[in-house]
Amino acid sequence: MAANAPLLFTFIIYLLLVLYLGVRAYRRTHNIGDYILGGRKLGPVVTALSVGASDMSGWLLLGLPGAIYLSGVREIWIGVGLIIGAAFNWWYVARPLRVYSELANNSLTLPDYFENRFQDTTRLLRLLSAVVILLFFTFYTASGLVGGAILFSNSFGMDYFVALYLGGFIIVAYTFVGGFLAVSWTDAIQATLMLAALLITPAVVISAAGGPAELWLRMEQVTAGSTSWLSGVGLLGLISLLAWGLGYMGQPHILARFMAAESPRKLLPARRIAMSWMVIVLFGSVTTGMAGMVYFAEQPLSNPETVFISLSQALFNPWVAGVITAAILSAIMSTIDSQLLVSSSVISEDFYRVFVRQQAGDKELLLVSRVAVVIIALLALIIASDPQSRVLDLVSYAWAGFGAAFGPIVLFSLLWRKMSATGALIGMFVGAITVVVWSNLSGGLFDLYEIVPGFLFASIGVVLGSKLHPMNNEETLQQFDSAQKLLQDDTRT
């Protein structure tokens, strides 16, 4: 325990800082709009870093390095696909969604936006999108809890289940108290820590190995074919890896950051910061996996996803290792808190206020949101209770679910004037069902990542549904035109 004292001390200091930010944010949270979107007051730096941190999550420091460590550089195509997808999302979704979500009756959640965008009086669109969010976010949150349990278990020798419940309690605590502001502020700090950790760790290993060229050579000696960009990938495999980029347009926790930005114009500098951060951390994550392959050649790790944790604790003194361990926890926390917040917002805004008590006040809705955080976390804990769970597997399923169910609907809703509620409903249903069914099939074409057929079939559903029942509501069409004019005016000024 004495050897772990510096690690534990550094860790505790970081957690106290996070909880302090939660309490501070609590004092600035006065209504449900503050709790869900922070009053739409996020500046460009916090917006950019919060998007990055909530996006990358424990997958960046556990899943991706583990995949590289296990299979070599061929897994880098996931990162390439993500960079392309994120750039598209910032260019074509961020500003239009910020403008349109406020214009469409100040929509606070994605289901709220869908209903207001298409003037859906049946409430089916809101209901279906809320169900999709709760379904896939439960799995997504579970992936983060698994990552937290792996971290605590490996760092402090804890039992997996003790580590799982402890990590869950910490994350729920500050999300429960502080809401969106706490989540966004902590995400900005977490993104900075993640950046530092992913620059320092691989740099030390590469230097010790004799430089990049020597590291590359030793990787091939450890595992033949590990330095080949396409070894064992195949066409379906390459498409599947690149297709991760399709998921960006449908991730509610990322889209919420766009909606919460101070103004559409502030998203322009935010885009530059976010994309620069993303390229650097992905490079660091891939390099960490490569370094781990060489460093642990003689004593392979039992769990590949612990490669970053094991490297940091083997290379650095306990104080530095404590900071890096905090960075890994940061990556995990930054996504879980965002997912819990979005899910709780859906329960309070899209279920409780719409279907249970339409006259509910802000205090009542805040209470419902906070209780929902706890309930969703408990469900995720049940899924995460399997010690054999893999972070990358859980993330890939949830990522595909959102990308296919929401991605085409968000994109078409911002670009196509004549899109209708029927098209949105059909597309969303088809996308979600395709992912659920496809993921349970295997062999041949079914080895293709489920987001590809899901996104394709959902897009077809949007077009066919909108052609069958086109948008004829004049008020909705004028609202679309107003959004386009606001975007054009903002661009000129």
Q: What is the pLDDT of residues 237-264, one digit of tens each?
A: 899 989 999 999 998 888 888 888 878 8
Average pLDDT, stretch 420-430?
95
Rank 237-241, 321-325, 381-385 by mean pLDDT and report only the highest: 237-241
pLDDT exceeds cutoff 80 at 17: no
Structure confidence at residue 320 as a pLDDT band (50, 70, 90): confident
* Residue 470 belongs to some domain of the structure: no
Task: Tell me the C-alpha distance between 105 and 111, whole Å.
Answer: 13
Most confidently modeled of 66-70, 95-99, 137-141, 151-155? 95-99
CB 35 within 8 A of CB 349: no
Indicate the pLDDT class of residue 1, thresholds 50, 70 and 90.
very low
Residue 2: predicted pLDDT? 46
| Range ranked top by mean pLDDT from 45-49, 63-67, 311-315 | 63-67
**Rounded Cα gap, residues 329 and 312, in angstroms:** 13
Please report the DSSP string for 173-188 in residue order.
HHHHHHHHHHHHHHHH
Is the residue at 349 inside a domain? yes
**Arithmetic mean of pLDDT over the chain:** 80
325 has a pLDDT exceeding 80: no
CA 327 to chain centre: 16
Per the CB < 8 A criterion, the answer to whether 104 and 118 are in contact is: no
Average pLDDT over residues 94-115: 87
Looking at per-residue pLDDT, the higher value among 445 and 54 belongs to 445
When mean pLDDT is compared across 80-89, 148-157, 454-463, the lowest value belongs to 148-157
Q: Is residue 418 in some structural domain?
A: no
Stretch among 17-21, 27-31, 306-310, 354-358 having the lowest mean pLDDT: 27-31
Highest mean pLDDT, choosing among 23-37, 173-187, 205-219: 205-219
Residue 25: is its pLDDT beyond 80?
Answer: no
pLDDT of residue 338: 67
pLDDT at 309: 80
- In this predicted model, which residue has the larger pLDDT, 135 or 247? 247
Q: What residues contact residue 131 under an 8 Å CB cut-off, 6+ apart?
A: none
Instruction: Identify the band that residue 178 occupies on the pLDDT scale cut at 50, 70 and 90.
Output: very low
Asked if the structure places residue 25 within a domain, the reply is: yes
Mean local confidence (pLDDT), 224-228: 79
Pick from 237-241, 302-306, 342-346, 452-456 the range whose average pLDDT is largest. Answer: 452-456
- Is residue 270 in some structural domain? yes
> In CATH, what number is assigned to the domain containing residue 369?
1.20.1730.10
- Say what the pTM is: 0.81
HSE-CB of 156 using CA atoms within 13 angstroms: 23
Least confident of 50-54, 377-381, 448-452: 50-54
154 within a domain of the structure (yes/no): yes
User: What is the per-residue pLDDT for 34?
Assistant: 52
Percentage above 70 pLDDT, the chain: 83
Q: Give the integer Cα–Cα distance in Å for 163 and 242.
A: 34
Q: Is residue 474 part of a domain?
A: no
- Does residue 40 lie within any of the structural domains? yes
Cβ count near 348 (within 10 Å): 27
* 183 alpha-carbon distance from chain centroid: 13
The 10s digit of each residue's pLDDT in 450-471 is 999 999 999 999 999 999 998 8
405 vs 365, residue with greater confidence: 405
Give the structural domain span for 89.
5-110+121-246+264-391
Distance CA 274, CA 267 (A): 10
How does residue 415 score in pLDDT terms, banded at 50, 70 and 90? very high
Q: In the chain, how many domains are there? A: 1
Average pLDDT over residues 169-189: 62
